[in-house]
Structure 1
């Protein structure tokens, strides 16, 4: 009986293998490659996502003449808006001018700030929305739009819950500059937040069968009888079409890659590198202004203190949040590394060559998984000992050792007598090998943008909503005031992206 059962099982397995083997050899190679890619992503903790660059987007022959809602821009805010609109029973479409979805969201590395979250409570972190509000207001020098800020902090925990409900879990919590509590939520394995969130959102967009067209450059937002009614889109730089809709949501990001716009309001920033992806050129702001929308804080442009200069690549705040320090070319600390970005940038600019080194040990490297990517890109200098690292850095070995000894004592005593740092001091820097990354300031984020209300409706100079026009994400100004806190941009795109999807859906349903 057992032999018979075994024979039947072998025959069944053979049949399955024959079926699986059908098809071209090239297809088998593609399937095997896909399986290998999937395994690699699972190993990195990204089981639920696939890379944006490997994604198949909606083909142009599926384009319709009309949709309920048009979303301009496929970053985190745009995809969040699309998912919420779809959940309300609407038919949204996303137009993205770049060849892949993700926008600047793909480049975010530190995490997503949120207060009073379930993950904080699970880990015994006591936090409050009021504290988050006050620290963000202080970080923005008191110039933040208080209504937007209040909505932002009060809806941050629900945004974490929403992401978790769609397979995007951010339960690894660290801290960023200007914050007094651990509220910066990261992927479970501590890896960079941007690709994980963007790819997770994209996966959900595809599962919900929301059309997403790339190489689709929206050139104009149209209106009729005082109401926004669609867009003009240039496909593949040659084929322009007019698509109508009952509402348009603009999530095109900021203007960090448009040096003409930047130089007009901040000529002092000319010559700095930018961490922004090349699609961040302010298109959405310009189109909204043509419809009577107004802007705020356009001269408030954040320069991030830790940017790898050769490739204009952001070294995320998580590296400092997990315990690294900044040293000068003399091997000395010179600033509270987790002060607000504007103050850390100013301290670096006061150094002779306006550059510094992030110095950390293997403990930081194990906790901040983004460093693995920096290492692959060739940014990381290593040494088995502090002296060996100093030699690689070209700084005095005795001074670097003194600096690290002093810092490690400060961590032990929980007292940074030199610069008053109080956060990111859970672990000292004593576990070799030791590492460093050379950094300098770079243009990172544009706090300025169009004015909206808490319903994400774009408002005119009189504060009145422009019917049918919504906006969310970095295209919007006011939330951050004069200085953005690290971790607040990812929070902004999810919180206000969701709100734009909900409110644009309500608007359409009321028509």
Structure 2
């Protein structure tokens, strides 16, 4: 287990006692990007589907929901390898079609801060399930909510300081990177610079949990803060004041401004490096269909739409304006089971 949501960082550690709640999958000989957590989750599920003889239709894309005279969902119109197909649903239809991270029109309408940003999802997240349910009067929730990833090494960020385009710190650097990404894109115009001294940088790169994918050369190096400030093109004294304030308290192992934990707080001294993280964010959407505890899709009237269920990122589930790594697995698995049981009972 790990602190996957930053609950052991400020301000959360002062609100509730931190506890590791995130599961870390372990696979012998695992390599980055190869047979990782997703593989370990899906392999036994796929094997079980095959063993049970369940029919699976590939490259099938939903186009319409079909309702009967009593407005109950009784099937779907779709295409399989481009050819039209119809599917009769005796008990119900479960939508598990993902978010709308790759639908440009929906992004522009609901989460414009993500417009033009890479989607931290697969391209099949086109919002189709949300739009089809909307056509039946489905209620939506938290459509402006999003997760924002930032492509920076947490080991480096925790040991340095992050400043915005004004040379000011704006987030505690040892928090969950998703919070850093949100603060960067949503509150600081996607402007972020990581400043770290030579000693801390070498220490970060030597750690076993450093992320090779996020390793790249700094854009600026300098012997003094004043020199770095000038190289970055910041107004005189802005960065110098930020570093001086940070160092004044870091000498005593404290960070009263943002609350970074003492284990990461140390004065920034000697040769400096600055990593340009402007535009280094990508996001995915968290809003979607409003459902009840049985995963029934709710009409704008508040009543369930008969025969229609949903789970995962096409719904507004556990997450709204915050996220922790792996939470989408909860929305998918827990509410997927609830949807399956409720549909079967129908």
TM-score, normalising length: structure 2: 0.70
SS at match of 1:413: coil
Counterpart in the other structure of 2:161: 325
The 3 A distance-change label for structure 1 pair 228 and 447 is same
Higher helix residue share: 1
C-alpha spacing 1:382/1:401, structure 2 compared with 1 (3 Å)? farther
Please show how residues 166-205 of structure 1 align to structure 2 within 5 Å.
171=2, 175=6, 179-180=12-13, 181=18, 183=20, 185=22, 187=24, 196-205=36-45
Matches within 5 A, 1:91-240: 119=1, 171=2, 175=6, 179-180=12-13, 181=18, 183=20, 185=22, 187=24, 196-210=36-50, 213-224=57-68, 226-236=71-81, 238-240=82-84
Alpha-carbon distance between aligned partners in 1 of 2:334 and 2:105, rounded to the nearest angstrom: 31
Query: Residue 104 of structure 2 corresponds to which residue in structure 1?
Result: 259
Residue 426 (structure 1) shift: 2.5
Pairwise CA distance, 1:265: 4.2
CA separation of 1:172 and 1:347: change in aligned 2, threshold 3 A: closer
Whether 1:494 and 2:321 are equivalent positions in the alignment is no
CA deviation vs aligned residue, 1:176-197 (integer Å, no higher than 9, x gap): 6764336463636899899833
Q: Cα deviations across residues 394-441 of structure 1 (Å, max 9, x unaligned)? A: 438999798667646645634224xx2224553246799967252337
Distance 1:463 1:263, change over 3 A: same
8 Å contact 2:204–2:210 — kept in the other structure? no
Matches of 2:343 and 2:58 in 1, distance apart? 25
Residue 217 of structure 2 corresponds to residue 381 of structure 1:
yes
Call closer, same or farther: CA 1:470–1:381 in 2, change over 3 Å: same
Change (3 A) 1:232 1:192: farther
Contact 1:174 1:182 in 2 (8 A): no
Secondary structure of the residue that 2:137 maps to in structure 1? Answer: coil
Aligned to 1:454: 293
| Residues 1:241 and 2:80 aligned together | no
* 8 Å CA contact 1:323, 1:426 repeated in 2: no
Q: Note if contact 2:185-2:281 (Cα within 8 Å) is conserved in structure 1.
A: no
Contact residue 193 and residue 276 of structure 2 kept, 8 A: yes
SS in 2 for 1:439: coil
Residue pair 2:218, 2:273 contacting (<8 A) in 1 also: yes
SS of alignment partner, residue 496 of structure 1: helix
Query: Normalization by structure 1: what TM-score?
Result: 0.50
- Distance in 2, matches of 1:182 and 1:406, equals 31
**Conservation of the 8 A alpha-carbon contact between 1:337 and 1:344:** no
Change over 3 Å in CA distance of 1:326–1:270 after alignment to 2: closer
Q: Does 1:468 align with 2:299?
A: no
Give RMSD over aligned pairs. Answer: 4.4
> Is the Cα–Cα contact under 8 Å of residues 256 and 262 in structure 1 kept in the other structure?
yes
CA distance in 1, matches of 2:124, 2:87: 22
Distance in 2 separating the partners of 1:435 and 1:315: 15
Q: Which residue of 2 aligns with 1:33?
A: none
Say which SS state the counterpart of residue 87 (structure 2) adopts.
strand
Is 2:25–2:36's contact at 8 Å kept on the other side of the alignment? no
Determine which of 168, 188, 194 is the counterpart of 1:358.
194
Q: CA 1:507–1:411 in structure 2 vs 1: closer, same or farther (change >3 Å)? A: same
How far apart are 1:320 and its partner, in Å?
A: 7.6
Q: Secondary structure of the residue that 1:468 maps to in structure 2? A: strand
- Does the aligned pair in 1 maintain the 2:317–2:331 contact within 8 Å? no
Q: Do residues 422 (structure 1) and 262 (structure 2) align?
A: no
* Cα pair 2:293 2:338 within 8 Å, conserved: no
Deviation for aligned residue 1:476: 1.6
Closer, same or farther: CA 408–217 of 1 in aligned 2, 3 Å: farther
Contact 2:3 2:19 in 1 (8 A): no
CA distance in 2, matches of 1:229, 1:463: 20
- Closer/same/farther in 2, CA of residues 347 and 285 from structure 1, 3 Å limit: closer
SS at match of 2:214: helix
Shift of 1:451: 0.8
Going from structure 1 to structure 2, the CA distance change for 1:509 and 1:348 (only over 3 Å counts) comes to closer
**Whole-Å separation in 1 of the counterparts to 2:152 and 2:66:** 39
Where do 5+ consecutive residues of structure 1 fail to align? 1-118, 120-170, 307-313
Q: Do the aligned partners of residues 212 and 196 (structure 1) sit closer, same or farther apart at CA in structure 2, a change above 3 Å counting?
A: farther
